Amino acid sequence: MTATHSLYRRAAASLALLWLAIGALMVLAAGVGAEEPILPIPKQVDVDPAKAALGRDLFHDTILSKDGTVSCASCHDLASGGDDGRRVSVGVDDKPGMVNAPTVFNAAMNFKQFWDGRADTLEDQIDGPVQSPFEMGSVWPEVVAKLYRDDEYRTRFERLYPDGINRKNIKNAIVEFMNSLSTPNSRFDRWLEGDKTALNARELRGYELFKDYGCASCHQGANVGGNMFQVFGVLNDYFKKRGDITEADLGRYAITGNDEDRHAFKVPSLRLAALTAPYLHDGSAATLRDAVDAMFEFQLGREAPDEDKEAIVAFIKTLVGESKELSP
């Protein structure tokens, strides 16, 4: 009797569990159906404030360059959007580089760094600008020695890092600062979070078009980009049209040597695109509208009415969030 009773109870309990599981699955399915391809930027980032402050000073200090003429901020001006407004960057000895400088805002959210994704982390990325002859032209032992000779830097490093000034700790402080450079609370994020008044009708239509035309299949996630590689010129050969192919145009191919990576680039974040003209890895698109035109021509291989393109531009402008470093 008791045995049957407990058998019933167990059966009833498993039935209840089954219903719970089915219910949960249904909620999940509904959630997935309603999910947007773009996520809000997290409002809080965990950084060590003292290390980030040290990193901020290093970021703005020309001491990192070989002749004291160039800082990270020379090419990544934070107040105006974290880039330099040039077609391609210019480093020490006035040497022009080969590509357009991306913004450093929200770079911490990218799955890889640089247009061709050659650095896996922000730490690895810093070796690039510091040592590149087209950027700061330094060598690490010199940078370490110069900082060591500066009493203030030496004291600050010794206070924050048991092993004082070295390449690893310099990079750590700069990365800590870059981790703080996020731009939450954009109008679009507020809309995502439920404030349906945050966008006007045209901007909202722009977002719908952005999804319908397939822009969001490449520009997606919290950074509206930065989470995959894609060939530039999927549907029309951009490079044939532009001519004069440079090494930088090879994109990811230069790293992997795989044919399918020829002209593949990290899909850039559109978060601050409203502020970071000119556009594309070669800086060839002067305005946001030009970049959107190029996307229609080369990535989608289709025409679109002017008003659709303008609505998409209006939507992209709602992606700009807030940072105390930013004052456009």
Q: Which residues bind ligand HEC (CB under 6 A)?
A: 59, 64, 70, 72, 74-76, 89, 91, 97, 99, 101-102, 104, 107, 110, 113-115, 122, 125-126, 129-130, 135-136, 174, 210, 213-215, 217-219, 230, 232, 234, 265, 267-268, 270, 273, 276, 279-281, 288, 291-292, 295-296, 299-300, 312
Tell the smallest beta-carbon distance from residue 17 to ligand HEC (Å). Answer: 43
Judge whether 36 counts as a catalytic residue. no
Task: Please pick, among 135, 142, 247, 260, the residue that the annotation labels catalytic.
Answer: 135
CB 248 within 8 Å of CB 281? yes
Tell the smallest beta-carbon distance from residue 56 to ligand HEC (Å). Answer: 11
> Residue 127 or residue 195: which is nearer to ligand HEC going by CB?
127
- Dist CA 84 CA 96 (whole Å): 12
The four Cα atoms 236, 241, 246, 248 give a dihedral, to 10 degrees, of -40
> Residue 204 or residue 270: which is nearer to ligand HEC going by CB?
270
Tell the smallest beta-carbon distance from residue 34 to ligand HEC (Å). Answer: 22
Tell the smallest beta-carbon distance from residue 146 to ligand HEC (Å). Answer: 14
- Dist CA 324 CA 309 (whole Å): 31
Element (H, E) at 157: helix 151-160
- Dist CA 127 CA 77 (whole Å): 19
Long-range CB contacts (< 8 A, 24+ apart) of 190-198?
A: 191/318, 192/36, 192/38, 192/39, 192/40, 193/40, 198/318
Residues 6 or more apart in contact with residue 173 via CB below 8 angstroms = 51, 52, 54, 55, 58, 157, 160
> Residue 129 or residue 221: which is nearer to ligand HEC going by CB?
129
- Give 90's strand partners: 96
- Dist CA 177 CA 227 (whole Å): 21
Tell the smallest beta-carbon distance from residue 190 to ligand HEC (Å). Answer: 21
> Residue 74 or residue 318: which is nearer to ligand HEC going by CB?
74
- Dist CA 184 CA 204 (whole Å): 19
The set of catalytic residues is: 135
